[in-house]
Structure 1
Amino acid sequence: MLISEYYAILGLPVNSSLEEIKKAYRKKARLYHPDINHDPGAKEKFILATEAYDFLIESHNRDTVDEQDYFRIVEEWKKYRQERSRKRAQYYARSSFERFRNSKYYKSTRILNISTIVFNFVIALMVLIFTILGFILRLRNPLPEDKHPPVFTFVLLLIISLILFLVALLSLKSWTDLNKKQKMKK
Structure 2
Amino acid sequence: MFDASLRRVIDPPLNRLGKVVAKTGASANSITIFGFCIGMAAIPAIIWEQYLLALTLVLINRLFDGLDGAVARQTLLSDFGGYLDIVCDFIFYSGVVFAFAVARPENAVPAAFLIFSFMGTAATFLTYAVMAEKYKISTDIRGQKSLYYLGGLAEGAETILVFILFCLLPDYFGFIALIFAGMCWVTTLTRIYAAYLAFRN
Instruction: Give the TM-score band, short-chain normalised.
Output: 0.3 to 0.5
Q: Normalising to structure 1: TM-score of the pair?
A: 0.33
Q: Which has the larger radius of gyration?
A: 1
Point out the structure with the larger helix share. 2
If asked which structure has higher relative contact order (CA below 8 Å, sep 6+), I would say: 2
